[in-house]
Amino acid sequence: MKTSATTPMRDKIHPSQVRYIKLGEGGKWERECLAKRVIRYGFGSETPERFPWCQEGEWAKLTDSFFQEGLRQGVATRFSNETQVFFEDDGATLWITFIGERLWWGQLEPCRGDPRKAAQPHADGDGVWRPVLDGWRSTDFNGDSLTKDRLSGALTKLALFRGTSCNVDVADYVIRRINGEKVPEVERGIAAAEEMKAAVQGMMTLLVPHDFETLVDLVFSTTGWRRQGIVGKTQKALDLDILLPSTGERAFAQIKSRTNQAQLNSYIAEIDDLGPYDRMFFVYHSVRPKGDVHTDDERVTLIGPEKLSEMVLDAGLVNWLIRKVS
């Protein structure tokens, strides 16, 4: 069966509430729920005694059955309330869960008539199940993966929740995130970052060649590369001799303030004569005449003004750059 990631996206979601659910103790139902596009729910809701109560909305009787099992009244009420939410969901609830490093989400298929009749006892005799509309998904409406490293800690903390299901206190954030919408603060941050990158690109063109080489050296050092030679004083076609200690990869960088396609081609032609290097970085901030440079050589990594401006920001070198061109 196809997983939810392969089915077309519907319109953006507008749920009435957001609930977190754990798919079985220790995640034992996760794989099945993703593959069969369902939600499984336990709490003995499949038993001959409790299942009819759930279908008829006899929640007081369900609560009392939990209490008679020896649970505290508060716990018995909570178990019954969670079961009620699942059985009475008419498809307006957004259900989310964490499986591995991903957030998965889905809404139950709406049903005609009483939604409590939609749940069915599972064939293995453990809990009940209901189908998920279009299956579970782990991407937003822009197609971006919903991995933990890209989500707020206020949401990812739910992965540590020890119960079965609960309301999500950052529901608005979850809905916006799944809909691929940025909160206003993030939108302003993105706009500010884009403006700063443009400013960095402009300031780089004001650097003299030696200062531009130093900037590139500083950028590489913050990403883990270790310089093996003096900037600009190694070989004719080699401005920066660098090593990545974590992998042992050896590379060299050719740094040009302004360049063109012919110049790039000439340096590529000399790669084999430069020694035991795994690849070459070709770094520049401008192309003359106006345009860009390109290569299909897999040994060459081009770092032009847009990419380099991002690296300068990530390295925290904006103030250094400002001081140099002021």
pLDDT value, residue 6: 43
Instruction: Say what the pTM is.
Output: 0.65
pLDDT value, residue 186: 82
Average pLDDT for the chain: 90
Percent of the chain clearing pLDDT 70 (strictly above): 94
Q: How confident is the model at residue 9 (pLDDT cuts 50, 70, 90)?
A: low
Give 184-211 pLDDT, tens digit per residue: 888 888 899 999 999 999 999 999 999 9
Give 267-276 pLDDT, tens digit per residue: 898 888 777 8
Give 212-223 pLDDT, tens digit per residue: 999 999 999 999
DSSP-derived secondary structure for 106-161: E-BPP-SS-GGGS-EE-TTSSSEEEEBTT--B-B-TTS-B-BGGGS-HHHHGGGG-
- Nearest 5°: phi and psi at 189? -65, -40
pLDDT value, residue 3: 44
pLDDT value, residue 290: 78
pLDDT value, residue 207: 95
- Over residues 10-25, mean pLDDT: 91
**CB of 293 closer than 8 Å to CB of 261:** yes
For 186-325, which CATH class?
alpha beta
pLDDT value, residue 10: 64
Q: Is the pLDDT of residue 237 over 70?
A: no
* 119 vs 10, residue with greater confidence: 119
Ranges of each domain in the chain: 4-178, 186-325
